[in-house]
Structure 1
Amino acid sequence: MWVDVALPLPLENLFTYKVPEKFCKEIGLGKIVTVPLGNRFSRGVVVKEVQELPPKLENSNIKEVHEILSLDSAISKIYLDLTFWIKEQYACSWGEALTLIPSFNIEKRGLSRKKSTTLAETLVEDVLGKEPRLSLTEEQNSALEPIQQAIMNGIHENFLLFGVTASGKTEIYLRAISKALAQGKSAIFLVPEISLCSAFWDILRKRFGEQVGLWHSQMSFNERNRILKEIKEKKINILLGARSALFVPMERLGLIILDEEHDFSYKQEEKPRYHAREAALKLGELIQGVVILGSATPSLESFYRALKKEFHLLELTKRVPSSRVPQLYLADRRTHSKNLAIFSPELLQAISKAILRREQVILALNRRGFSTFLLCVLCGFVWKCSNCNLAFVFHREEGEEEGRLRCHYCFEEKPMPKVCFNCTGESLFLGGFGTQKIVQELKKNFSFARILRLDRDTARKKKVSLETYKTFKEESADILVGTQMVVQGFDFPGVRLVGIVDADTALHHPDFRASERTFQWIIQASGRAGRNPEGGEVIVQTALPDHYTLQTAISQNYRAFYEKEIEFRKSLFYPPFSKLVLFRIQSSKKKDLVIAEAERLKELLVPFKGEEFQILGPGPSSREILRKQNRWQILVKCGNKESLQKVIKAGQSFQTKSGIKIVIDVDPYDVL
C-alpha cells in the first residue's frame, strides 16, 4: 500500500510513500505523518491512497512513512477540499495550504509556557459593559427572518447584511448564533484584526457563556491546544477570532459570520495568499451552512454580487433609536501659498473647544502616512495616468534634479511639470506628512494638551502600545494621533471629535481601490465619534472638497458612491469585472537580470492577451528596492475563470534563473 503526501513546500507535485505494515490499519486520508525527505524528516498530510503504483514509479526506491502523528485524529475531508480549493485559487501548493489547519502545526513546536501580555489580549480583557437583550426594530426582524429560516431548514445560503453604523447588526449576529445552537450547530465569528475581538468578546460571553472560545495568532501553543480540546469535547461551540480562526475544525459547523467583510485585513499577504471572505464562502458551501457578511460599507465586489442575486441582500437603513447620528463636515485645506496647512481653522477650533469641554480627540492619517502625489493648490487638479485614471507618484532617482511622475499600474511616466496643466498656476504641492509631524504641530498650538501617538512604529513596541491604549481609555490624555488603526474598532467613550487630517493622501494613493478605502475610512471614523451618548462630529480635511468620494461619505450615501465607483471600475476593467494576478520578480542580483526575467515572463503571458485579458508592465514596483532586493512586476487582468487559471498555471510553471524569485498574488490588495 502507498500514499500520496502533500508537503509544505512550494512544489505542485505530491510525494508517494510506502506504508509499513504496522501502519496499514491507522493510515488514511487527512492523517498527519512524518516522512523522509532527503536527509531529514518532514511533516505532511496524506491526501490520497494509492493501490497501484504508476509505471514511472514501479522500479523506484520508494521510502516509507516514518510516523503517524495524532492517531486519533485527522484533517477532515471538508478541510482537505477547502485547502485544495485554496491551492487552485491562490497559486500555492496543497501542502502550503494545509499549513493553515491548526492540527498541522499545533504539535510542530514545543509547547510554550511563557505568556506575555499583548495589546490584543488587553483589548479582549478590557471588555464592554453588560448589555441587556435588546428588542428588535421592524427592519432588524425583516433581516433576521430569512437567516433563521435558512439555519432551521439546513439550507446553504450567503447573506450580505448591509447596515449603516449603529443599525443593530450585532444583535442579528447574536440571534443567528442562538438559532444555530438551537439546531445543534456551531458557529465561527470572524473579525478582520485581533484587536477588534474586544468589541465582541464580552457580548458573546454574556449571551452564550463559557461555550465561546477565542482564537488568534498571538495565542500560546498551550492555549491553542486547550481550545482545540474543548472544541472536540463540544465545550466550545462559538469561536471568535481573526482570519486564522476560519480553519479551526469546529464540530457540526453550521454558521460563519464575517463582520466588517470589506476590510482588507481579511486578505493574507504572506503565502498562502488567500482571502478569508472567499475562503469562508467556500467553506459555507462545503458544510452546506449559512454565511453572513456584515458591513456598513460593503466591498464593491460583495455589493455587486448581491445586486446580481449571488448573495441575499439584507439592508438596515436606520440607526437604533438610542444611537445619535454623528455630524460630518469637510474642511478645505487650500491656501494661496505653495503648501497646504496641516490644520484648517475649523479643525483647530474644534480641537480647542473639545479640550476646554474636557472631551477627547482622535486625529487620524492614512495608513501609509505618506504618499507623494502632485496637487495644484489653486484649482485642486491632481496629475493622473491617462491609461489607469490613478494618481501619478513622484520619483527621483539618485542624481536626478527634477524627478518624474510614474504610474504604478501601467508604468507610464511624465516629466515633473512647472505649472498646473489645468489653470497654469504655479502653486504645486508635492509631499505628505506623518504622525510625528502632526504631534509636533499640535504641541505648537496646544502646549498644555496631553498628546499620545499610536501607529505602526509605536505598535511594534508592546509596552508603549499598551500604555498608550490604557492611558487614553482612562481619559488621562486629551488627543490621540494615529494611523487608520485608531478609528477601527477601538471604543473610547470620551471621544466626541474625530479629525481626518489628510483625506487626500488616502484618496490619491496609486491604487484603484483608493476611493473605496477612503470612503470606508471616513464612515469608520463616524462610528468612533458616535460612541458618546451626546453625539459627536467628524471633520475631514481636504483640498478636494468636491470629490464624489468625500461628498458621498459626508452624506453617508453608500449607494451614490457605489454607482459612481462601479462606473470607473467597469470602464477600466478592474474588479469586480476582472480578476487580478500580480507577478513580482525579485532578487538581490543586478537590476538588469531582474528586468530580463520580467520580460521573459511577459513573453510567456502574451499569447493569452485579448479582450478578456490585459497585461500591464513589466515595470518597477513602487518600492523598487526592498530589503536589498530589486523588484519588478507585471499586473494581469483576467475576465473569466478560464483565463485566470491559465495565467496562474503559466506563472507557476515559469522557471526563474538561480537566485531570482517569483511571487504570485491572486486578488492582490497591495500592488506596490
Structure 2
Amino acid sequence: MFYYEIIITAHALAPLTYSCKNKLEPFSEVLVEVGNKQKKGYVYKQVGKPSFKCKEILSQTGFYLTATQIQLLEFISSYYSSELGVAAGLFEPFCESKNILDTSEFGDFSTLPELSDLQNKALDFSLKNDVSLIFGDTGSGKSEIYISAIAKTLKTGKQALLLMPEIALTPQMQKRLEKYFSQGVGLWHSKIAKGKKERILKDFMSGKIRLIAGARSALFLPFTNLGLIIVDEEHDESYKNASKPCYNARDLAIWLAKNSKKSKILSKKELSAESFRIPSGLNYDFEGIRTILGSATPSVVSYHKIPHFRLKGTFFTSSKQYLFDHSPLGLSNMIISHLAAVLEAKKQAVIFLPTRGNFKVLLCKDCGKSFTCPFCAVNMSLHKNANALKCHYCGFSSPLPSSCEHCGGSVLQSQKIGTSELKLMLESALPKAKIAKFDRDEITTAKKLETLLKDFNEGKIDILVGTQMLSKGHDYH
C-alpha cells in the first residue's frame, strides 16, 4: 500500500493523506472522498504510512498538470500566500491520451504582415530579450509585431499565448488571427460556453491548436511546449485577479520568462520518467520561453524595470479633431448637430461613456448626500429597467429609494448619465437613427457580441453607444 498527500482542487485545505494500492505520479489527478462527497485532487507527494486510518483514493482520471503548470502552481501558492488547493483550481489539466502533438512547422505563413524598418527593429529587440516592453503609440502597429513574433515561435514547433484584456477578445480578433494562422487559433475567455471550451481544450491538447488568445485565465491552460507569451495592454487592471488567489497574470508571465531556465522543477534531470510523466514526442525545452509586453501607456513599474523599445507614429494614416463642449447638459445641441451631420453623410458614429446604466449618482437635494454601496463605499448607479441601484464593483443592488436614507428628504436628483440614459436621449433627439448599446449589461454572451459588431459593420446600426469595452480590439469599416 502506498500513501500520498493529495491537494484538494479549489478548496482551502492543507493536503490530505490517502492510501492507494498503485504507485502514482506527482501532480496526476485523482478522485477522492472528502466528507461524503467526491472531489478532484492532485497527488502532491508520497509519504510514509500515517499513524491514523486514511481513506483510499477512489480512482485516477487520466489527467495531470504539465511542468509549466506545476511551476506556476507552486509559485502562486508561495508568492501570493495561497493554499495549494485554491491555486490548483485555476488550472485546466492535461490528458496524455489526447496527446498526438505534432512538432513540425505550423502553416506556411505566406500572408504575414509586411513590417516597416522601425517595426522590424522592435521585433528584433523583443526576440533578443527574455522579457521586453514595446512602448508603442496607439496605431503604431504593435499587433503586426505580435503576429510576426508568434509566427517565428510556431515555426519552431512551440506554442504561443497572446494575453489581452477580456474586452479586447472579440470575434474580430479571432478572425484576424485566423487570417494568418488558419484554424490553429483558440480564443479563451469567460463568455465562451462550456461545450465550446471543451472542444478548444481537446484541440489544444491534440496539437491542432497551437496559439491561444485569451484573458488572464488562458495562462493556466495545459501548455506543454510554451515558447512565447505576449501581454497586450500590459497596464490593464483586468490582469489582476481580485478573488483568491489574488494574482497578476502580467507578473506571472514575466516570472515564467525569467525563471523557466533556472527552475529546479523544470530541470531535465528531474523531468525524468521516474519523477514526472513525459508524453512521448513532447520536447520539454524551457530555454525558449519569452515574454513580450505591449502598451501605448505602459505602467511605471514595467517602464522602469523592463528593457523597452519606443515605437512612435501610426501604422495607418488617420486624423483627429478636438471639439470642446462646455455645456452642463449630457447631450448638447452641438453634439446633436454633429451627429445629424454624420448621419446625413451616410456615416456612423461611436459614442463612449465611462458609466453603464442610466445615472452614476443618485443624491438628495436637501442634504447633498449620495447613495453608496454598504460594502464598497462607492456611489451606486441607477438602473431604470431594474428599478434599482447597483454597485458596479461588487454587484450589490437595492430597490430604488423614494426618500433619502440620511435626512428623509423626498427630492432625489440623478447625475452623470450612463449609456442606457444616453441611448434614450439620442432616440428622442434623432428618431430616425438606428441606435444600439454596447456595455456589460447588454453584451452578456459571445453570440451577442458577435451579432452586434456584425450589425454595426453591415450598416444596420447608425450610432453605437458604449463603455470602454467598445474601444479595444475592434475594426469598423
TM-score by length of 1: 0.54
Contact 2:19 2:56 in 1 (8 A): yes
Cα deviation for residue 276 of structure 1 reads 1.9
In structure 2, the CA distance between the partners of 1:234 and 1:476, relative to structure 1 (3 Å rule), is closer
Match of 2:405 in 1: 398
- 1:100 deviates by 1.7
1:470 alignment partner AA: K
Q: Does 1:355 align with 2:326?
A: no
Q: Specify the SS of the correspondent of 1:4.
A: strand
Superposition deviation, residue 481 in structure 1: 1.7
Name the residue aligned to 2:74.
Answer: 84
Q: What amino acid sits opposite 2:229 in the alignment?
A: I
SS at match of 2:135: strand
* Aligned counterparts of 1:7 and 1:392: Cα–Cα separation in 2: 37
Aligned residue number for residue 45 of structure 1: 42
Match of 2:56 in 1: 64
CA displacement 1:424-482 (0-9 Å, x = unmatched): xxxxx972222232122223322222222233332237876665433322112221122
Is the aligned partner of 1:95 residue 2:85? yes
2:26 matched residue in structure 1: 29
Amino acid at match of 1:37: V
Structure 1, residues 122-164: CA drift from partner, whole Å, max 9, x if none?
xxxxxxxx995443223212211122334xxxxxx21111111
| Correspondence for 2:442 among 453, 458, 468 | 458
- 1:553-564 correspondence to structure 2 within 5 Å: none
Q: 1:249 aligns with which of 222, 228, 234?
A: 222
The aligned residue for residue 5 of structure 2 is: 4
Q: 2:124 aligns with which of 145, 154, 166?
A: 145
- Residue 473 of structure 1: which of 430, 444, 457 is its match? 457
| Residue equivalent to 2:208 | 235
Query: For the Cα contact (< 8 Å) 1:9–1:93, is it kept in 2?
Result: no
Q: CA deviation at 1:10?
A: 4.1
Q: How does 1:526-545 map to 2 (within 5 A)?
A: none
Provide the C-alpha distance between the structure 2 equivalents of 1:12 and 1:330, rounded to a whole number of angstroms.
Answer: 57
Question: Superposed, which structure 2 residues align to 1:125-136 within 5 Å?
Answer: 133-136=112-115
For the structure 1 residues 438 and 194, does the alpha-carbon distance in structure 2 shift closer, same or farther, using more than 3 Å as the test?
closer
Report what 2:428 is aligned to: 444
Quickly say closer, same or farther: Cα 1:431–1:45, change in 2 above 3 A: same
- Closer, same or farther: CA 220–198 of 1 in aligned 2, 3 Å: closer
- In the alignment of these two chains, the number of paired residues is 403
Pair 167,255 (structure 1): closer, same or farther in 2 beyond 3 Å: same
- Stretch of structure 1 that moved more, 310-319 or 193-202: 193-202
Q: In the TM superposition, what whole-angstrom CA distance separates every residue of 1:528-566 from its partner, at most 9, and x where no partner exists?
A: xxxxxxxxxxxxxxxxxxxxxxxxxxxxxxxxxxxxxxx
Query: 1:645-664 counterparts in 2 under 5 A?
Result: none
Instruction: State the secondary structure of the residue aligned to 1:371.
Output: strand
- Aligned letter for 1:455? D
1:258 maps to a residue whose letter is V
Task: Indicate how the Cα distance of structure 1 residues 356 and 261 shifts in structure 2: closer, same or farther if over 3 A, else same.
Answer: same
How far apart, CA to CA, are the structure 2 residues paired with 1:367 and 1:456? 10
- CA 1:332–1:178: 2 relative to 1, 3 Å: same
SS of 2:416's equivalent?
coil
Report the Cα distance in structure 2 between the residues aligned to 1:220 and 1:430, rounded to whole angstroms: 37
**TM-aligned CA deviation for residue 256 of structure 1:** 0.3
Unaligned runs of 5+ in 1: 108-129, 151-156, 334-339, 375-382, 384-390, 404-428, 494-672
Taking the aligned partners of 2:448 and 2:222, their CA distance within structure 1 comes to 36
Q: Distance in 2 between matches of 1:438 and 1:162?
A: 35
> What residue number does 1:296 align with?
296
Contact 1:30 1:77 survives alignment (8 Å): no
Superposition pairs of residues 608-619 of structure 1, within 5 angstroms: none
Q: Secondary structure at the match of 1:457?
A: coil
Counterparts of 2:213 and 2:446, CA distance in 1: 23
Contact 2:119 2:145 in 1 (8 A): yes
- Equivalent residue letter for 1:142: K
Aligned equivalents of 2:161 and 2:256: distance in 1?
Answer: 11
Q: Residue in 2 aligned with 1:371?
A: 360
Distance, in Å, in 2 between the alignment partners of 1:181 and 1:461 is 31
Which secondary structure does the structure 1 equivalent of 2:115 belong to?
coil
1:229 CA drift (Å): 4.1
Residues 18/324 of structure 1: CA separation in 2 closer, same or farther (3 Å cut): same
Partner residue, 1:486: 470
Determine the structure 2 residue equivalent to 1:14. Answer: 15
Letter in structure 2 aligned against 1:332: H
Aligned-partner Cα distance in 2 for 1:133–1:31: 40
Change (3 A) 1:158 1:462: closer
Q: Indicate the structure whose relative CO is greater, using CA pairs within 8 Å and at least 6 residues apart.
A: 2
Please state whether the residue corresponding to 1:332 is helix, strand or coil: coil
> What residue number does 1:325 align with?
319
For 1:331 and 1:181, the matched residues in 2 are separated by 50
Are 1:172 and 2:166 counterparts? Answer: no
Percent of residue pairs identical: 32
1:172 and 1:43 mapped to 2: Cα distance? 41
How far the C-alpha of 1:12 sits from its partner, in A, is 4.5
How far, CA to CA, are the matches of 2:110 and 2:330 in structure 1? Answer: 40
- Aligned partners of 1:461 and 1:197: how far apart in 2? 11
Q: Is 1:264 aligned with 2:237?
A: yes
Q: Please list the CA deviations of residues 307-362 of structure 1 after superposition, one character each: whole Å capped at 9, or x if unmatched.
A: 2xx21111111112x421333443223xxxxxx21123432232121111111111
CA deviation digits over 1:38-65, x for unaligned, max 9?
1222110112222x35xxxx42112221
Do 2:233 and 2:293's aligned partners in 1 also have CA atoms closer than 8 Å? yes
Structure 1 Cα separation of the partners of residues 148 and 245 of structure 2: 34
CA–CA distance in 1 between the matches of 2:3 and 2:135? 51
CA shift digits 1:487-526 (9 cap, x unpaired):
2333222xxxxxxxxxxxxxxxxxxxxxxxxxxxxxxxxx
Shift of 1:290: 0.9
Question: Letter of the aligned partner of 1:207 in structure 2?
Answer: Y
Residue ranges of structure 2 left out of the alignment (5+ in a row) = 98-108, 262-288, 364-368, 370-376, 381-400
SS in 2 for 1:492: coil
Contact 1:33–1:67 (8 Å) recurs in 2? yes
Q: Is the 8 A contact 1:10 1:92 kept in 2?
A: no
- Cα distance, 1:472–1:182 mapped onto 2, change above 3 Å: closer
Letter in 2 for 1:60: F
SS in 1 for 2:182: helix
> 1:380-426 CA distances to partner (integer Å, 9 max, x unpaired)?
xxx9xxxxxxx9969996252479xxxxxxxxxxxxxxxxxxxxxxx
1:346 aligned residue (334, 345, 351):
334
Tell me, yes or no, if the aligned pair for 2:435 and 2:464 is still in contact at 8 Å.
yes
Structure 2 CA distance, aligned partners of 1:146 and 1:458? Answer: 41
In 2: Cα distance, 1:9 partner to 1:467 partner: 35
SS class of match (1:319): coil
- CA offset digits 1:269-298 (Å, max 9, x no partner): 444343221222233334342111112222
Distance 2:353 2:449 in 1: 17
1:176, distance to aligned residue in structure 2 (A): 1.1
- Cα distance in 2 between the residues matched to 1:248 and 1:184: 18
